[in-house]
Amino acid sequence: MNKWKIAFFTLLILVLGSMGVMAMLVLTSERATPQERAPLEGVDMTLSSTTKEVEAAAQTFIDHALKEQVPMQIKVDKDVQLSTAIETWFGNIPVDMTFIPSIVSNQIVLKQETLQAGDLSVSPRMALAVVDQFLETPQWLGIYPLDGQIIIDLAQAPIDNKFNIQPRDITLTEEDVKIDITIPKGAY
């Protein structure tokens, strides 16, 4: 065999191998079941907040959860936008993801709408699969590439005093976010 045939088959094996690795990344995500907290006796209240207040709280949670593995910015407006930069051989590539939030089973579900990774064409599924494999996230933050979703389980979030926090309503177009909180007896 001449060297062109060897180069062709080597390249073919590399391409097929990388496709296999990417398929494995996408297909190996597991879905966690929501954790139900026992009802607490205490004071029940509903907090109503604006998108800017939610944005500030979410940024604090993200910074704490990711422990600065990746600098990530969040913007909450008519949707939820996450922005970061990924370091590659070619330099930093800006990555912007847009999500539509909803509430399912007392969890905040962020359904991915768009993805922009510099000039690259990357499917949202593939992007979430890469993030899921290479980013260490806390137990209360689940990434599900097959569904194109990020799920935030507030029942598992590290909240002081064991407050019971459940999302009630997320209507970003009206700047209205409501969260139910139970403050246990003895915490006040």
Domain range for 107: 50-158
Helices (H), the chain: 3-27, 51-66, 124-134
Do the domain assignments include residue 82? yes
For the question of whether the overall pTM of this predicted structure is more than 0.85, the answer is: no
- Contact present, 150 and 74 (Cβ < 8 Å): no
In terms of phi and psi (left: phi > 0; alpha: psi -120 to 50; beta: otherwise), the region of 123 is: beta
User: Would you write out the chain's pLDDT as a tens digit for each of its 188 residues?
Assistant: 678 878 777 777 877 777 766 666 655 655 555 555 556 677 888 888 888 888 888 888 777 777 666 678 889 888 898 888 777 777 777 888 888 889 888 888 988 888 877 776 677 777 777 777 777 777 888 888 888 888 888 777 776 656 778 888 888 877 888 888 887 776 65
Per DSSP, what are the bridge partners of residue 141? 152
Do the domain assignments include residue 62? yes
CA–CA dist 160, 88 (Å, integer) = 38
Question: What's the Cα-to-Cα distance from 47 to each of 53, 60, 123, 184, rounded to whole Å?
Answer: 11, 18, 37, 16
Do the domain assignments include residue 153? yes
Specify the number of domains making up the chain. Answer: 1
Question: What's the Cα-to-Cα distance from 87 to each of 19, 22, 62, 71, 94, rounded to whole Å?
Answer: 21, 19, 19, 11, 9
